[in-house]
Amino acid sequence: MSEHSPGGNISCKLIAAFIALSSHLIMHQIDVTSAHFSVAFSIPLNNISIYFSKLFSFRCLLIAVGTFSEFLISEIFKHLDFGALNGVGKKDNKYRKYISMACFALVLAIRVLLLIFLYRSSNLGYYVYIILSVEAFFFGYFHASVLAIVPEHSLAVALAANVSRLFILLTQFCLDAILYTRPLLMIKLQVLIGVVMTGIAVVLWFYYHQIGPCSSHITSGSTDLSALPGPGGIRVKEEKGFGRTFADAISPFMMFFVGSMFKDFLYPGVLPYALLKRDICHIINMLVPVSNMIGPVVLFFLEIAEVFPIWEPSYNWFWVFAIPMAMTFVLSFMPIHTRIPFFRSIINSRIKVMYMTLGVVFCNGFLDPLSFGGVAKVVKPQFRGKARNGTLKYGDNRLITFHAILALFMRFVFSKISVGYNDTRVSLGYCLPKFRPLHRMSKHNTFWYILRQTFKTAWKDTGSDFSMNIKNYL
């Protein structure tokens, strides 16, 4: 990586990482402290998995809408050619960074509003759901702009997003030691910390673009690459088309969706909440960030060691992580829907459920960042020396945004299917403490009923999200 590239400036990478860390805090607070949320908001025991699956899936949808809006608006500004008035080419698209800063400021404002409601509202489960849903749209817009503006920092951003989960975990450990019997106060303190860090990050994002050493390096993802020297002084002769870029990136592109299919369906609706009592789930949720961190840390150090400048076929070996995820996916249904003693022993077994949950999260911890980082490396490879044939071809930057939009949409789909399944199994009696069916259907009919009802409920629930029927589960 050239020292003249944005990625070569360590301070720029650190700023981008801190911004990613602070922007993801709320998302990870929901995951790590979901047990405290359920107590503080008085969510009924059998509706905990449904509430968080609905919150997660609706946030994914709105993040996807925000991501698509960022792409659409940046394309509109690019083709309107506002920059030409100042002698700047129409593809410079400098307005992308201005709107990005404005959206991040709105994220901060909404988080301040959340903190106010935590102190003043009596119906917290409902209003927190609404506020976090609105925040998701602006977070999606902002995060998409970061990926498009600084793709060279993609692995640092991915690592920081996971470090934010670890930060929440360590903070929660301290709070649990002091205030374990006061879950609402712990939530308030976590949100307050998030507000302070987000405020600092907003200032740093402005500094990154307007004042600091990074501002002179920033170019939009749509910059005309044929006119610029690439990393290491190599002149980029042309930009690959979208189709060619997609074909080159198909393996890392698909890694996210396979990992998400298993992880977002199982966690947290099935693993751990379907198999363990709420209070026991808390320790597992606290360990999830540690398991999830291993993959991003390994990949980040590969990038630092310049082992991962471009996507190589050897990285396809990481697909092996999908195998244990598929096995755990099947294993998770066995204690719920069978009476085989070996599988039934998993119910209320903290150790077994913990291994299953952390195993899924660990494997996804490799596939998720490798997918985003791999696509970014295909679009914008980094070389320190001479590239092949003396040239370095960049891919179409639109693939990064398309990947982010599709990833968020599929996370919404998988988590919504999880809502449908959990709602169906609870209605049939496949839930704690007894897992005794409330029906007389045969195994064959039960299987097809659950399958049909899962998708029917998921589809119905998608529409009901916009009518905010979350009150039905509180």
Phi, psi of 235 (to 5 degrees): -80, 125
Tens-level pLDDT at each residue, the chain (474 residues): 333 344 446 888 888 889 999 999 988 888 778 878 888 888 887 788 778 878 887 888 888 899 889 888 888 887 775 554 444 444 445 778 889 999 999 999 999 999 999 998 888 888 989 999 999 999 999 988 887 787 777 778 878 888 888 898 889 889 989 988 899 999 999 999 999 999 999 999 988 887 766 655 544 444 444 444 544 444 554 577 888 889 999 999 999 999 999 999 999 889 998 999 878 888 898 888 889 889 988 888 887 777 777 888 889 999 999 999 999 999 999 999 999 999 999 999 999 999 999 999 999 999 998 998 889 888 877 654 444 555 567 788 788 888 988 988 888 889 889 989 999 999 999 998 888 888 889 889 999 999 999 999 988 877 776 666 777 777
Give the pLDDT score at 473.
77
Give the pLDDT score at 228.
45
**Of 307, 306, 381, which is closest to residue 151 (Cα–Cα)?**
381
Give the pLDDT score at 386.
44
| Distance from C-alpha of 165 to C-alpha of 294, rounded to nearest angstrom | 12
Q: What six digits make up the tokens of 211?
A: 């004042």
Relative orientation angle of helices 48-80 and 25-32, to the nearest 10 degrees: 170
| Distance from C-alpha of 353 to C-alpha of 275, rounded to nearest angstrom | 7
Give the pLDDT score at 13.
83
**Domains in the chain, CATH or no CATH each:** 6-468 (1.20.1250)
pTM above 0.95, yes or no: no
Q: Which segments within 114-225 are labelled E, that is strand?
A: none
Residue at 104: amino acid letter: F
- Cβ neighbours for 473, distance < 8 A, ≥ 6 positions apart: 43, 44, 47, 50, 51, 54
- The beta-carbon contacts of 103-107 under 8 Å, at least 24 apart in sequence, are 103/66, 103/138, 103/141, 103/142, 103/145, 104/19, 104/23, 104/138, 104/142, 104/201, 104/202, 104/205, 105/202, 106/138, 107/23, 107/135, 107/138, 107/139, 107/142, 107/198
Residue at 158: amino acid letter: A
